[in-house]
Chains A and B, each alone.
Chain A
Amino acid sequence: MNKKKTSLLALPYGLWMAGFIAIPLFMVFCYGLTDRSGTFTLANVLAIATPEHRKALVLSLLLSAVSTFLCLLIAFPLALILRGRRIGRGSFILFVFILPMWMNFLLRTMAWQTLLEKNGVINALLGILGLPALSIINTPAAIVLGMVYNFLPFMVLPVYNTLAKIDDNVINAARDLGAGPFQTLIRILLPLSVPGIISGITMVFIPALTTFVISNLLGGSKILLIGNVIEQEFTRGSNWNLGAGLSMVLMIFILISMTFVAKYDKNGEGTAL
């Protein structure tokens, strides 16, 4: 096949991308940079600086950073253990980690409400054990828990993928050269799984940053994240221009993450399943 002719095969999807990726993004800019009457303004973008938007954004950044960190903290040992298990049982364990993704995530999150409520399942269990009740429902902690729960697989997957690709002998070599288990972890396993970690971080951080569902369900609507602000501007029909303007601010963070991915995950190995 002639190379030029072959590249032409990309044309249909190229047009598709123009129509369904480029133009829609352009529309966000159109709305974001105009007011209701259609005149140019930067007010919608600058609105991020108003105290309530700034608070929402800062809180979103904080909660998603904490969630991402916790996801990594949980996922890395998990991926390490999964890596160490033999294939026969290992594959079943992997099924087990994928299976929850087939349940609707709204329902799963809803179920957490049942678990966490004041008179919920967890407090009932704690009561039986004679322990003091937890009250984390409708707090930022509950939102973080929801984020970690929902996005954990997106961290486990890429981290596991990169870890699994590391040759056993590379680890043996480190041990052989005098590194203890901890040094091997710090000097070999961690640096070698950086592409997976970066990809996992973006795959958790971005959805966590922009979620509005989890904060609604587990935050009792008392906690306003930037995703809630944008969603409400659109679905409660108040101000689409403002919503689009704030979305543009969010895109900055997405650009940053794209740059990171491009830098550290050149071969897309972290994202590949």
Chain B
Amino acid sequence: MKTIQSRLKRFFEDFYLVFTLIFLYAPIAVMMVLSFNSSKSRSQWGGFTFEWYRHMFESAAIMDALYNTLLIAFLSALIATVLGTVAAIGVNGMKKLPQTLFMGLNNIPMLNSDIVTGISLMLMFIAFGISLGFKTILLAHITFNVPYVMLSVLPKLKQTSRYAYEAAMDLGAGPVQAFFKVVFPDILPGVISGFLMAFTMSLDDFIITHFTRGAGINTLSTLIYSEVRRGIKPSMYALSTVIFTTVLALLLITNFAPAKAPKEDRREGRQTSFGTAFRRTAMIGAAFLVCIGVGYTSFRHFASTHSDELFVYNWGEYIDESVIAQFEEETGIHVTYDLFDTNEEMYPVIEAGAIQYDAVCPSDYMIQRMAENELLAELNYDNIPNAANIGEEYFTRSEEFDPGNLYAVPYCWGTVGILYNSRRLEELGISPPTGWADLWDPRYRGEILMQDSVRDAFMVALKRLGYSMNSTDEAELREARDLLLAQKPLVQAYVVDQVRDKMLNGEAAVGVIYSGELLYLQEEAEALGLDYELTYVIPTEGTNIWIDSWVIPYNARNKENAEKWINFLCRPDIAKKNFEYITYATPNAAAFALLAPAYRENTQVFPDVSSLVNSEVYRYLGTEADDLYGALWKEIKAQ
């Protein structure tokens, strides 16, 4: 017999719980659905597929990141647990004042924001010449894990009766023996939950890892973050789905399979239930992940033994992975392949020399900067006979940033232009854009996607004003800033590679985009059967011609292998295969000749370089100009 009131209350409570659950799980459900979506787009359903699950297990990058994540989580949690438990015992024996000081210092990583912790550790590592990599992530993770261990061990220690310890001594146990026989079993639950908390925290961390990782090492978080910029591959969703469902299944089994636990006092039971629930979740998850980790470690152990090596540092998604395998097979050289997302991220890595890469693929202006700072080794073209396959005009263009073509062999090139959605323009009643100036048409309010990078954004404005995109003139730059500020209300978002997905999904009418994305876009649009066309124009005011080229750092240990690598990539069949995968225009004339006519005739992808009269290549402008660009860009962003 219940009153209407209490039923109503129950109903509202249930409703609230369900609502919160939907809030919590909606994104997860979306992720799971996307893992079965045959289209790469986040918002277009292309049909059901298990393809991404297969891809996930085959992808070395994902498996490596998973392995690193698990190993770091396990090691850091283990070390932190030992360090923290011992320290907790010490702290427990301290006098009031030193204890307060000690705990104050201990609390800093927990209360401090991750970004400050990450930065402070990074600065320290760099100041002491510790190269960023696996060990720095591990050290950082241990540092932020110990406080969590202390947090769960200390209360247990305080509860432990001193008399039990003394009784053990009285009965003939030595101090150490007494500790392990009497005190340790008492605090064990705290130690375990400390370990699991540390494991979870480490697993979940992104920001601190982001700052303390070196190039070439990824955890799942950093891998995902780098993919965010160019669109997350659905294999990531697949991996998450696998982890999530496994943890969920294990939970359900352990939760419902055994007979009901003995009835606890209601109040007492609830006090511990959150902790218990957390511990159990964490324990199961950890066990599962450690198993995978151990399995994968042994797999890796057997899979990797080699003497001839090559360290490659390239943009993400910038090679057909089968090309690497083919190179390894043909030459017997083992390739360690690392990724970067921006030129600016890559530069300090090479500059610090912490990791000695043999072949790197930066962009034009960055090559100039590296050359000026003597970070590059001159190429021996005798070892790169296939360089002859590269069209002469591209070497000529390269002279703008690499006079004499001493350092760089072009790999991909392209233009920056405007992509528009034909149907959306019709709806808005605007004729197709022809130049940058059209991006200031007020009718585009909320319909423009701009590039989220200083140079690209300023290029658009500077070109519209008729200035050089390499301008360092403060007045010109201010003028460009004002122009960009005026444009900001029209802009829907500043994005990097996401412009691709968003345009595909019809989110915006126009977007500034790299020409390399076109083929992918057009093929995907066709596959999805979209009812609108995505068309690319090179603005009349002129645009940026960019060339990404292979270079060899000054400190390369395997220079000859690197030259073999570059030579291999210049082989027409390889260049063709690569082009067909990454769809960025190839400067390789011999490979171009092998392409299907449909590709060769696509002037959006392969414009006539000589016709691009007003266009330029980015040059490195120096620190001062960089700072000026940066400051002005910040003013635009902060508005």
Whether A and B touch directly in their complex, counting CB atoms under 8 A apart, is answered as yes
**A interface list, Cβ under 8 A from B:** 1, 3-4, 6-14, 16-17, 20-25, 27-28, 30-31, 36, 51-53, 55-56, 74, 77-78, 81, 83-84, 86-88, 90-115, 117-121, 135, 137-138, 149, 152, 157, 160-161, 164-165, 167-168, 202, 206-207, 209-210, 212-213, 216-217, 219-224, 227-232, 234-240, 243-244, 247, 250-251, 254, 257-258, 261, 268, 271-273
Cβ A271 vs Cβ B630 within 8 A: no
Known: A114-B43, A221-B495. A24 touches B123 (CB 8 A): yes
Contact status B83-A106, CB under 8 Å: no
**In the bound complex, do residue B240 and residue A107 qualify as a contact, i.e. CB atoms below 8 Å apart?**
yes
Pair A250/B270 contact, Cβ less than 8 Å: no
Name the A residues within 8 Å of B232 (CB-CB): 107, 110
Chain B 473-506 against A: per-residue CB contact (8 Å), 1 yes, 0 no?
0000000000000001001111100000010011
Q: Which residues of B contact A (CB under 8 A)?
A: 13, 16-17, 20-21, 23-28, 30-31, 34, 42-43, 83-84, 86-87, 89-94, 98, 102, 105-117, 119-124, 127, 139-140, 142-143, 146, 151-152, 155, 165, 175, 179, 193, 197, 200, 203-204, 206-207, 210-211, 220-221, 224-225, 228, 232, 236-237, 240, 243-244, 247-248, 251, 255, 260, 264, 266-267, 269-271, 273-278, 280-281, 285, 342, 344-345, 347-348, 446, 452, 454, 488, 491-495, 502, 505-507, 623, 626-627, 630-631, 634-635, 637-639
Bound-state Cα–Cα, A13 to B103, Å? 11
Are A202 and B121 in contact, CB atoms less than 8 angstroms apart? no
- CB contacts (< 8 Å) of A8 on chain B: these are 90
Return B283 CB to nearest CB of chain A, in Å.
Answer: 12
The minimal Cβ–Cβ distance linking A146 to chain B, given in whole angstroms, is 10
Which of A14, A102, A216, A232 neighbours the largest number of chain B CB atoms within 10 Å of its CB?
Answer: A102
Check B225 against A213 for contact (C-beta < 8 Å). Answer: yes
Separation of A72 and B81 alpha carbons in the complex (Å):
32
Q: In angstroms, how far is the closest chain A Cβ from the Cβ of B624?
A: 10
Partner of B109, one of A11, A21, A28, A261: A21
Question: In the complex, are the beta carbons of A87 and B244 less than 8 A apart?
Answer: no
11 A-B Cβ contacts within 8 A? A10-B86, A12-B87, A24-B117, A28-B120, A90-B273, A106-B228, A149-B24, A209-B113, A224-B634, A230-B119, A257-B111
Contact A88 B27, beta carbon cutoff 8 Å = no
Which partner residue on chain B sits nearest A254 by CB separation?
A: B112
Once the chains bind, are A250 and B113 in contact (CB under 8 Å)? Answer: yes
> What residues on A are CB-neighbors of B107 within 8 Å?
258, 261
Cβ–Cβ < 8 Å partners of A93 in chain B: 17
Query: With A99-B247, A103-B31, A111-B27 in contact, do A231 and B270 touch (Cβ < 8 Å)?
Result: no
Q: How far is B275's CA from A268's CA once the two chains are assembled, in angstroms?
A: 15
Contact of B270 with A244 in the complex, beta carbons under 8 Å: no
Task: Establish whether residues B24 and A250, one from each chain, have CB atoms under 8 Å apart when the complex forms.
Answer: no
Knowing A9-B90, A222-B491 are in contact, say whether A28-B114 is a contact too (CB < 8 A). no
Given known A78-B20, A107-B224, A210-B114, contact A102–B243 (CB-CB < 8 A): yes
Verify B116–A251 contact, CB threshold 8 A. yes
Smallest CB gap from B255: residue in A:
A92
Cross-chain contact B270 with A21 (CB below 8 angstroms): no
B111 near A261 with CB under 8 A, answer yes
Do residues A27 and B630 form an inter-chain contact, with CB atoms below 8 A? Answer: no
Per DSSP, are chain B's interface residues mostly helix, strand or loop, or mixed?
A: helix
Number of A-B residue pairs having CB atoms within 8 Å of each other in the complex: 332
Return the contact of A221 from the options B142, B452, B634 (Cβ within 8 A): B452
Q: Note all chain B residues with C-beta closer than 8 A to A88.
A: 260
The answer for the CA separation of A67 and B174 in the assembled complex, in Å, is 54
CB pair A224–B638 under 8 Å, yes or no, is: yes
User: Which B residue sits closest to A258, measured CB to CB?
Assistant: B111
Candidates A27, A165, A209, A224; contact of B271 at CB < 8 Å? A165
Question: A261: which B residues are within 8 A, CB to CB?
Answer: 107, 111
Q: How far is the CB of A197 from chain B (nearest CB, A)?
A: 16
In contact, B255 and A103 (Cβ under 8 angstroms): no
Q: Are A6 and B494 in contact (CB under 8 A)?
A: no
Q: Look across to chain A and name the residue whose beta carbon is closest to the beta carbon of B634.
A: A52
B14 to chain A, nearest CB (A): 9
List residues of chain A with CB within 8 A of the CB of B278: 94, 98, 273
- Name the contact of B93 in the complex, choosing from A1, A23, A121 (C-beta under 8 A): A1
How far apart sit A119 and B42, CA to CA, in the bound complex (Å)? 11
Closest to B260 in A: A88
Please report the C-alpha to C-alpha distance between residue A109 and residue B244 in the assembled complex, in whole angstroms.
16
Q: Across the interface, do B270 and A234 meet the contact criterion of CB distance under 8 Å? A: no
